[in-house]
Amino acid sequence: MFKNIREDIRSVFDRDPAARTTFEVLTCYPGLHARVLHRLANILWHANLKWPARFLSYLTRGLTGIEIHPGATIGRRFFIDHGMGVVIGETAEIGDDVTLYHGVTLGGTSWRHGKRHPTLGDGVVVGAGAKILGPITVGAGAKIGSNAVVVKDVPAGATAAGIPARILDEEKKKTAGFDAYGIGNDQNDPLSKAIHGLLGHSVTVDQRIDFILQQLEKMGVCVEEERATADKFDPNHLNKIVD
């Protein structure tokens, strides 16, 4: 137990630059308190002391703002930063070195018994406000962007963002260092990519129209009015706005 607590404290220093002293972490970090109390509740749960386990979980929620069902399975060096509003369901399974931020939900999508909550692999980072729902798997090293709603499996090493969450271009690429809010270097979402594509298509269409006008001018057709009233836009400027 004490060895695990020491690991948890060390993981706080590794992932939160605001942490200054061990005493501060022990007394002021609700994520650490919730993890320690969950270990006790989990022991009671597996000892078939269901009500005491649930009651301890209930008290922990009041103390920390973090609700972890005593039946949830959690690995080593688990870190919840800020913590308020985190909900972890009964059949959730969390690997080692996983990080959750405030407002994260590992929830279910049905009232049926059995496995109904997510499984998170080792090293997963889940950004603030994200919802991971159903008996799906988030692969090791994956990142979930803030406020994402994930309802399908996420491959190992991928970054998922959006509502519903989609895999970004950097899927399965590994990046060095710790990314606090689960957002990759390439933050283009499908909507921005679609807009960039439309802007590029507009440039091509304008070039074709200009070519047609040139040919008409060679044939003696007056196109000055069409040129004067043609819409003018700067695609590079618009691309920067979308980014």
Of 5-14, 104-113, 172-181, minimum mean pLDDT range: 172-181
Highest mean pLDDT among 28-37, 162-171, 180-189: 28-37
How far are the Cα atoms of 210, 217, 229, 233, 235 from residue 207, in angstroms, in the given order? 5, 15, 16, 13, 13
Mean pLDDT (the chain) is 85
pLDDT digits (tens, 9 = 90+) for 45-66: 999 999 999 999 999 999 999 9
Does residue 191 carry a pLDDT above 80? Answer: no
> How remote is the C-alpha of 31 from its chain's centroid?
18
The catalytic residue positions are 102
Q: Which strands make up the sheet holding 143-144, listed edge to edge?
A: 79-80, 99-100, 125-126, 143-144, 159-161, 166-167
22-27 mean pLDDT: 91
Highest mean pLDDT among 62-66, 173-177, 190-194: 62-66
How far are the Cα atoms of 5, 34, 44, 57 from residue 62, in angstroms, in the given order? 21, 10, 19, 9
Q: What is the DSSP letter of 109?
A: S
